[in-house]
Amino acid sequence: MVRTIASHAETTGQGDAVDLTGAVAAAVRTATLNSGTVTVFVVGSTAGVTAIEFEPGVVADLGRSLEQIAPRRAPYQHHQRWGDDNGSAHVRAGLVGPSLTVPFADGRLLLGQWQQIVLLEFDTRPRRREYVIQIVGE
Q: What is the mean pLDDT of the chain?
A: 96
Select 2-137's CATH number: 2.40.110.10, 3.40.50.1220, 2.60.120.460, 3.40.50.2300.
2.60.120.460
Count of CA atoms in the C-beta half-sphere (13 A) of 76: 19
Q: What is the pLDDT of residues 39-84, one digit of tens each?
A: 999 999 999 999 999 999 999 999 999 999 999 999 999 888 888 8
Percent with pLDDT over 70 in the chain = 100
For residue 81, the model assigns a pLDDT of 84
Task: Report the length, in residues, of the chain.
Answer: 138
Q: State how far the Cα of 16 lies from the Cα of 1, in Å rounded to an integer.
A: 34
Q: State how far the Cα of 114 lies from the Cα of 17, in Å rounded to an integer.
A: 16
In a 10 Å sphere around its CB, with 0-12 CB exposed, 13-18 middle and 19+ buried, how is residue 93 labelled? buried
Q: What is the pLDDT of residues 16-27, one digit of tens each?
A: 999 999 999 999
Phi, psi at 26, each rounded to 5°: -65, -40
